[in-house]
């Protein structure tokens, strides 16, 4: 199976590629930082859902045109963990990928885009593939929580913001900025998608001192080769 792993930044690309066979340029002119590691391409597509969606769609279209289509897309990166659900240093596997702030504000509160009738705000991760991923991680001794992963365009920075999201999306496990963009592009191309987030910080009051990016990248470097071994051979 050919895999496309989409990250936001090159530090996440390097973490994902750390445990994979030798990498070389993926040959994507619009994304020169993308690398091929055997049957896996690791693409740092940029921060936020728009950049992630554009990069994913470009890579999927180029691969299909070249007769080397990807068969699975993984949105991978660091993320915030919802307190009591996903601890800093933990790993979250998305059961669904949710655009958590896509919609309209109103005197009656937030109105999600699907309530407005303008399109989906949730993409279910493939349950079979998610189950396989969870089992592979467990067998490799990598603890992972499975739950909804929220995509936001603005990193939550207050307790009130975190509580509002947890109320709006019960069971939310993690927050990132790219998953829904990646999933939207994968759906458009008929390719299944997974999202995996290594938790670098708690979702809540902005406190850079609480960010553990290096540790989260190490967790990512441990988890991604397990997923590649499960799906990429
Ligand atoms: O608030 C800051 O000063 C700050 C410090 C370090 C990183 C940031 C980011 O905005 C990182 C966004 C980037 O990392 C992912 N990420 C990591 N934690 C979270 C989070 O709690 N909520 C949303 N995204 C997060 C995200 O996917 C981006 O790629 C800010």
Give me the DSSP letters along 66-135. Answer: TT---SEEEEEEEEEE-TTTS-TT-EEEEEEEEETT-EE--TT--EEHHHHTS--SEEEPPHHHHHHHHH
CA of residue 33 to ligand 1 center, whole Å = 20
pLDDT digits (tens, 9 = 90+) for 21-54: 888 999 999 999 999 998 999 999 999 999 999 9
Domain containing 57 — which CATH number?
3.40.50.1580
Which atom belonging to ligand 1 lies closest to the Cα atom of 179? 27
Q: How far is the CA of 69 from the centre of ligand 1 (A)?
A: 31
Q: What total of structural domains would you count in the chain?
A: 1
Q: ipTM, 2 decimals?
A: 0.95
User: Separation of 82 CA from ligand 1 center, angstroms?
Assistant: 14
Residue 152 Cβ inside 6 Å of ligand 1? The answer reads yes
pTM of the full structure: 0.97
**How does pLDDT run across 138-192, given as a tens digit for each residue?**
999 999 999 999 999 999 999 999 999 999 999 999 999 999 999 999 999 999 9
What range does the domain containing 70 cover?
3-232
CA distance readout (Å), 224 to 6, 74, 107, 231: 11, 9, 43, 10
Cβ of 178 less than 6 Å from ligand 1: yes
Q: Kindly report the protein residue whose alpha carbon is nearest to atom 9 of ligand 1.
A: 155
Cα(155) to centroid(ligand 1), Å? 6
The first and second tokens of residue 83, run together, are 């307190």
CA–CA gap between residue 159 and residue 99 (Å, rounded): 19
Asked whether 79 lines ligand 1 (CB < 6 A), one says yes
């Amino acid at each position: 199976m050919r895999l496309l792993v989409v990250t936001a930044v090159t530090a996440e690309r390097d973490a994902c590629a750390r445990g994979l066979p030798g990498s070389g340029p993926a040959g994507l002119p619009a994304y020169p930082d993308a690398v091929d590691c055997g049957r896996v391409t690791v693409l740092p597509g940029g921060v936020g859902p728009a950049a992630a969606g554009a990069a994913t769609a470009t890579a999927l279209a180029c691969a299909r045109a070249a007769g080397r289509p990807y068969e699975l897309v993984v949105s991978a990166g660091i993320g915030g963990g919802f307190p009591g659900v996903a601890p800093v240093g933990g790993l979250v596997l998305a059961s669904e990928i949710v655009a958590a702030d896509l919609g309209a504000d109103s005197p009656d509160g937030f109105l999600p885009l699907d309530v407005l009738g303008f399109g989906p705000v949730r993409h279910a991760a493939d349950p079979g593939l998610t189950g396989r991923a969870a089992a592979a991680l467990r067998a490799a001794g990598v603890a992972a929580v499975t739950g909804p992963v929220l995509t936001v365009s603005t990193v939550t920075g207050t307790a009130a913001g975190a509580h509002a999201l947890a109320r709006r999306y019960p069971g939310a496990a993690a927050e990132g900025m790219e998953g829904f963009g990646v999933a939207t592009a994968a759906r458009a191309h008929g390719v299944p998608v997974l999202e995996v987030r290594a938790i670098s910080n708690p979702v809540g009051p902005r406190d850079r001192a609480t960010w553990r990016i290096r540790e989260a990248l190490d967790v990512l470097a441990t988890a991604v080769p397990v997923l590649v071994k499960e799906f990429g051979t």
